[in-house]
């Protein structure tokens, strides 16, 4: 830019406003001038900041760095006499979503902070992070939901710890732990939700999946006497390897993970909880083939609550067209195998009838039959019959008496 000569060896380049463009900074003695990049190969008019630190160029290192951990770039002056810096961004960082207004009186206001704030708070509280980030990230600090109709505000505060960055994949994986505090008032108590995630340190397929959660009163704890503990949930994860590592050419398997078991402990501030359990199974394509909702369990006895329902789902596998996600039969039983309900799903074909079970062309659900149960000799009755146009839109619905409603 004009006014800058080859003698200005102190000139620096860096992103001052977090827009992804390289800006130009010229440190001077008691002033700093910078030019913001316009993103088209040109620079904006210069801006000069007066009253910046005086320095001796021969004995002072001047560089751009995020010295205060706010996620923005500062100009650092460092010498054997100490350090000082120029902060170009003293407020929240730019290009972040600030508010959402639905036009009906509900407005969500969002404020942010640097992850360094939570890191320091935990460090000062003698609870240092077990996993550290190599750089700060911007995180949501608070959500304020404003109801214009009542004038009420609902506030949720967030705290994070143990941020993880995978150096091999160059990927920020999020935080191992987070805390959500819903601020209450005289009509409703403050509640705290603690969340624990798997960030994929041991198994990459687990990254981002919820491991544990607990809901408690402010100051409560879900251990010991469980004072203030309402409910805690524990998930078990299962990894399914689709292609072995030796067959991928990368030395890594192709795999995915899913929640295979969920245990919910409903304490309601009591030491002895009601224990609820669900288990899940999937096929190699990610379809849920089994969902066993045992309800209340007693240790290893999954039927003690006598409220279980076990759901089995069969799918159509069309290898030629790579379609694997259409269910064809759903069956529900109790823990002893007594059938509770059965459903069959028919696709495409003739309107209100469909193709034979297990066949499809497009995947439009034309007819659904459900069993009336053992008291009716398990007779199958249609509970859904539809007609589709060439674009997959429903244009006709037949009820149980055979009357048709048309849709245009």
Q: What is the mean pLDDT of residues 131-137?
A: 94
pLDDT single digits (tens) 2-49? 767 665 778 899 999 988 899 999 998 899 999 999 999 999 999 999
Query: Cα angle at 257 between 298 and 299, to 5 degrees?
Result: 5
For residue 122, pLDDT over 80 is answered with: yes
- Cβ–Cβ < 8 Å for 237, 197: no
pLDDT single digits (tens) 154-187? 999 999 999 999 999 999 999 999 999 999 998 8
Structure confidence at residue 76 (pLDDT):
95
**Number of structural domains found in the chain:** 3
Q: What is the mean pLDDT of residues 63-90?
A: 91
**Residue 279 domain flag:** no
- Cβ–Cβ < 8 Å for 284, 261: no
**Residue 365 domain flag:** yes
Give the separation between CA 362 and CA 323, rounded to whole angstroms.
10
**Residue 246: CB partners within 8 Å, gap ≥ 6?**
none
What value does the CA radius of gyration of the chain take, rounded to a whole number of Å? 30
Are 348 and 394 part of one and the same domain? yes
Structure confidence at residue 6 (pLDDT):
62
Q: What is the mean pLDDT of residues 309-330?
A: 95
pLDDT top residue among 149 and 377 = 149
Are 137 and 155 part of one and the same domain? yes
Q: Which of 121, 154, 188 is at the close of a domain?
A: 188
| Burial label, 57 (beta-carbon count in 10 A; 0-12, 13-18, 19+) | exposed
Are 319 and 391 part of one and the same domain? yes
Question: Parallel, antiparallel, or unpaired: how do β-strands 323-333 and 288-296 relate?
Answer: unpaired
Q: How many CB atoms lie within 10 A of CB 383?
A: 11
Are 79 and 105 part of one and the same domain? no
Structure confidence at residue 91 (pLDDT):
80
Structure confidence at residue 47 (pLDDT):
93
User: Which tokens hold the place of 172?
Assistant: 């920020």
Q: Which of 34, 56, 87 is at the close of a domain?
A: 87
pLDDT band at 312 (very low <50, low <70, confident <90, very high): very high
Q: What is the mean pLDDT of residues 310-321?
A: 95
- Cβ–Cβ < 8 Å for 378, 371: yes
pLDDT single digits (tens) 322-359? 999 999 999 999 999 999 999 999 999 999 999 999 99
Give the separation between CA 213 and CA 179, rounded to whole angstroms.
10
Question: Parallel, antiparallel, or unpaired: how do β-strands 380-388 and 365-371 relate?
Answer: antiparallel
Structure confidence at residue 81 (pLDDT):
87
Give the separation between CA 161 and CA 84, rounded to whole angstroms.
29
**Residue 269 domain flag:** no
pLDDT single digits (tens) 354-373? 999 999 999 999 999 999 88
User: Which tokens hold the place of 39?
Assistant: 């993103």
Structure confidence at residue 250 (pLDDT):
87
Model's pTM, two decimal places?
0.86
For residue 99, pLDDT over 70 is answered with: yes
Which of 237, 299, 290 minimizes the C-alpha distance to 265? 299
Dihedral pair phi/psi, residue 205, rounded to 5°: -70, -15
**Residue 336 domain flag:** yes
For residue 90, pLDDT over 90 is answered with: no
% residues pLDDT > 70 (the chain): 99
% residues pLDDT > 90 (the chain): 80
Give the separation between CA 98 and CA 322, rounded to whole angstroms.
42
**Residue 288 domain flag:** no
For residue 1, pLDDT over 80 is answered with: no
**Residue 281: CB partners within 8 Å, gap ≥ 6?**
260, 288, 289, 290
Q: What is the mean pLDDT of residues 113-123?
A: 96
pLDDT single digits (tens) 189-245? 999 999 999 999 999 999 999 999 999 999 999 999 999 999 999 999 999 999 998
- HEC-encoded secondary structure of 130-190: CCCCCCCCEEEEEEEEEECCCCCEEEEEEEEEEEEEECCCCEEEEEEEEEEEECCCCCCCC
Are 100 and 73 part of one and the same domain? no
User: What average pLDDT does the chain have?
Assistant: 93
**Residue 253 domain flag:** no
pLDDT band at 62 (very low <50, low <70, confident <90, very high): very high
Which of 77-91, 130-144, 359-373 is predicted least confidently?
A: 77-91
Structural domain span for residue 152? 96-188
Structure confidence at residue 3 (pLDDT):
67
Are 332 and 349 part of one and the same domain? yes
User: Which tokens hold the place of 263?
Assistant: 């245990």
Give the separation between CA 152 and CA 106, rounded to whole angstroms.
10
Structure confidence at residue 5 (pLDDT):
67
Structure confidence at residue 21 (pLDDT):
93
Structure confidence at residue 110 (pLDDT):
98
Structure confidence at residue 202 (pLDDT):
93
Q: Which of 52, 87, 122 is at the close of a domain?
A: 87
């Amino acid at each position: 830019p004009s006014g800058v000569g080859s003698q200005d060896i102190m000139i620096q380049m860096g992103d001052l406003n977090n827009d992804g463009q390289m800006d130009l900074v010229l440190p001077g003695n008691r002033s700093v001038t910078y030019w913001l990049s316009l993103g088209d190969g040109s620079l904006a008019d210069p801006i000069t900041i007066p009253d910046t630190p005086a320095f001796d160029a021969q004995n002072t290192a001047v560089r751009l760095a995020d010295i205060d951990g706010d996620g923005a770039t500062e100009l650092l002056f460092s010498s054997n006499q100490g350090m000082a810096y120029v902060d170009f961004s003293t407020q929240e960082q730019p290009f972040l979503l600030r508010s959402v207004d639905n036009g009906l009186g509900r407005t969500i206001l969002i404020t942010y902070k640097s992850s360094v704030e939570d890191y320091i708070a935990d460090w000062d509280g003698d609870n240092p992070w077990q996993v550290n980030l190599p750089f700060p990230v911007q995180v949501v600090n608070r959500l304020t939901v404003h109801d214009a109709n009542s004038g009420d505000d609902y506030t949720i505060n967030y705290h994070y710890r143990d941020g993880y960055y995978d150096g091999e994949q160059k990927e920020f994986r999020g935080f191992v732990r987070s805390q959500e505090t819903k601020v209450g008032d005289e009509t409703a108590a403050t509640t705290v939700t603690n969340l624990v995630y798997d960030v994929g340190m041991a198994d990459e397929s687990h990254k981002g999946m919820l491991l544990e959660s607990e809901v408690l009163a402010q100051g409560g704890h879900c251990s010991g006497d469980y004072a203030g503990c309402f409910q805690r949930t524990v998930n078990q994860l299962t990894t399914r390897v689709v292609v072995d590592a030796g067959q991928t050419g990368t030395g890594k398997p192709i795999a995915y993970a899913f929640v295979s078991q969920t245990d919910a402990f409903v304490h309601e501030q009591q030491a002895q909880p009601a224990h609820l359990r669900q288990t899940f199974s999937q096929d190699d394509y990610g379809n849920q083939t089994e969902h066993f909702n045992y309800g209340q369990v007693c240790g290893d006895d999954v039927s003690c609550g006598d409220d279980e329902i076990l759901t089995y789902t069969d799918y159509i596998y069309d290898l030629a067209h790579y379609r694997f996600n259409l269910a064809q039969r759903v069956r529900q039983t109790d823990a002893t195998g007594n059938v509770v309900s059965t459903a069959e799903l028919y696709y495409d074909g003739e309107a209100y009838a469909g193709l034979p079970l297990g066949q499809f062309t497009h995947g439009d659900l034309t007819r659904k039959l459900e069993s009336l149960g053992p008291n009716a000799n398990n007779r199958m009755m249609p509970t859904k019959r539809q007609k589709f146009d060439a674009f997959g839109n429903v244009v006709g619905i037949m009820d149980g008496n055979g009357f048709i409603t048309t849709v245009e």
